[in-house]
Amino acid sequence: MSGTENVRRRRNVIAASVAAGVLLAGGGGVYLAATASGEATPAGAGGAAADAAGSPPPLRLEGGNGGAGIAPGEPDPGGGPQGTVYTAKGPLPHGPSSAAVHRPEGLVTSAEVTRLAEALGISGSPVLDGQVWTIRPEKDGSGPRLDVARKAPGNWTYSWYDGGPVGDTCLKGKACPPPGEAKPSRGGSPVSEAAARAAAAPILKVLGQDDAKVTASQVMDGSVRVVNADPVIGGLPTYGWSTGLHIGPDGRAVAGSGMLDEPAEGATYPVIGAAKALAELNEKSKGTGPVRIGGCATDPPAGVDGNGKGDPAGVDGGGKGDAPAAPCQSIAEVAPPTEVPVTGAVFGLAAKDVAGERVLVPAWLFTADPVDAAPYTVVETAVAPEYLSPPVKPTPPEQGTAPVRQVESYRADEGGRKLTVTFWGGVCSTYTVAAQETPESVTVRITEAPTDPDRVCVAMAVEVSKTVALEDPLGARTVVDAASGQPVPRR
């Protein structure tokens, strides 16, 4: 029996249970899951036997202890300098007492890749190129291409490419297109949401995601309908593990990305309720606080340099000098925190990076419903805090060496084809960002160049954002910081 058949058999059992989100309602909510027999039992009760065998290992969630997670294009859950306060509009559900982490295991087979290719309408047999299964267009390089990472969960990307002559075979007088350049939009009108869902259904079925939560409201390039599917795994809804499909005007998939294999159930952890999770979320969403603005309107006092440090020339004959004055800074006024109502709470699984691996961690998925914007989802890890290890802090650079610019966060735009990375830089340098892509990850590297190497620069940190284009949609691939080798959290 293949790994996919095992997944299908397991999902048939899972489909009989209801992994429900609990909306806020009077009297408070207790998270219950309906079993196949129709009886209600507390979710996670099955983990008691596993816990009896010993405590699970602590989780070190890279990029922090699983604070506010958010989808690309949605507001910053931290709310900037003034912060955000999320307020529940009604009692919050208690949730289960424990839940399992889900981790990718094993290797993707050629047969699994072939089934996905057939669902996408791609002909040909997959070939293993290093650690990637690939089906590439032949002849002039035009046509569909599918790449699937051999290592589970089998991150995959599908695109349609225009080929044509390259290099020395280019016709003189015409610019040679880069190999593998993405095919532009064909024009036309986008299909309806219902038609896009119908076109995506056979592909989602092959992926074992026919019970996923599907949205199809987004349109790209005026003619391509985007279908996003968040699968149900282990009987729970997921966040950050989605499948994305681009449906063209002719009703066929022209691009897509996701994970081929479902992760396996791992260790079971005690979890916190929605009320405590919301309190943790608010603690992490306080904002950055008052902003100090540097810069002196006049020369600094005698004996003090522009950074507020004492100058030996200012010391009197007795070897004593005036205390160094504070650097020239003022505090910008900060508005009160933004209050955002929370109208729903769902217990589920959220994608997090643990030891360089993308895993699904128990989490609360809150529906934030601001008065002046569309509702969005904010995520807070539900694993009990005592089972979370603090993140590893990067080693500071040695004295006299140039600082290493580490990427703090990223967001994906234009259907995942562009990454905007944020990091701390200086005021006297320019920065560029480059991306190296594999089917499993995208590694971003920051390069710094002083604008005037001979000029004395004020040591002032500023937040910098730079955008880089990707050859393939980001999909579920992990974004890795080249400087630290660590996954970058998504904003």
Give tens-digit pLDDT for 120-133: 999 999 999 888 89
Q: What is the bridge-based pairing of β-strands 213-220 and 224-230?
A: antiparallel
Identity of residue 51: D
Looking at residue 322, its pLDDT comes to 52
- Return mean pLDDT, the chain: 74
What average pLDDT does the segment 221-245 reach?
94
Looking at residue 207, its pLDDT comes to 96
Looking at residue 370, its pLDDT comes to 92
Sole residue written with tokens 């802090």: 393
How far apart, in whole angstroms, are the C-alpha atoms of residue 279 and residue 299? 46
Q: Pick from 355, 350, 344, 483: which is nearest to 421 by CA?
A: 483
Q: Pick from 41, 100, 29: which is nearest to 270 by CA?
A: 100
Q: Pick from 19, 68, 83, 71: which is nearest to 375 by CA?
A: 71
Exposed, middle or buried: residue 271 (CB in 10 Å: 0-12, 13-18, 19+)? buried
Flag whether pLDDT at 167 surpasses 70. Answer: no
What average pLDDT does the segment 354-367 reach?
91
Radius of gyration for the alpha carbons in the chain, expressed in angstroms and rounded: 26
How far apart, in whole angstroms, are the C-alpha atoms of residue 66 and residue 390? 10
What average pLDDT does the segment 172-190 reach?
51
Q: Pick from 272, 265, 239, 277: which is nearest to 100 by CA?
A: 265
Looking at residue 19, its pLDDT comes to 36
Give tens-digit pLDDT for 348-359: 999 988 877 889
The torsion angles phi and psi of 49, rounded to 5 degrees, stand at -65, -40
DSSP symbol at 314: G
The torsion angles phi and psi of 194, rounded to 5 degrees, stand at -65, -40
How far apart, in whole angstroms, are the C-alpha atoms of residue 163 and residue 183? 9
Q: Pick from 146, 140, 107: which is nearest to 126 by CA?
A: 146
- Within 200-356, strands assigned E span 213-220, 224-230, 232-233, 236-239, 243-247, 253-259, 264-270, 292-294, 329-331, 338-354
Q: Which two tokens stand for residue 149?
A: 């990472």
How far apart, in whole angstroms, are the C-alpha atoms of residue 356 and residue 231? 22
Flag whether pLDDT at 278 surpasses 70. Answer: yes
Neighbour count for residue 333 (Cβ, 10 Å): 8
Flag whether pLDDT at 418 surpasses 90. Answer: no
Exposed, middle or buried: residue 46 (CB in 10 Å: 0-12, 13-18, 19+)? middle
How far apart, in whole angstroms, are the C-alpha atoms of residue 313 and residue 303? 6
How far apart, in whole angstroms, are the C-alpha atoms of residue 254 and residue 148? 16
Sole residue written with tokens 């234009």: 414
Looking at residue 335, its pLDDT comes to 63
How far apart, in whole angstroms, are the C-alpha atoms of residue 202 and residue 208? 10
Neighbour count for residue 377 (Cβ, 10 Å): 20
Flag whether pLDDT at 137 surpasses 60. Answer: yes
Helices 3-14 and 110-120, packing angle to 10 deg: 70
Sole residue written with tokens 């810069």: 295
DSSP symbol at 104: -
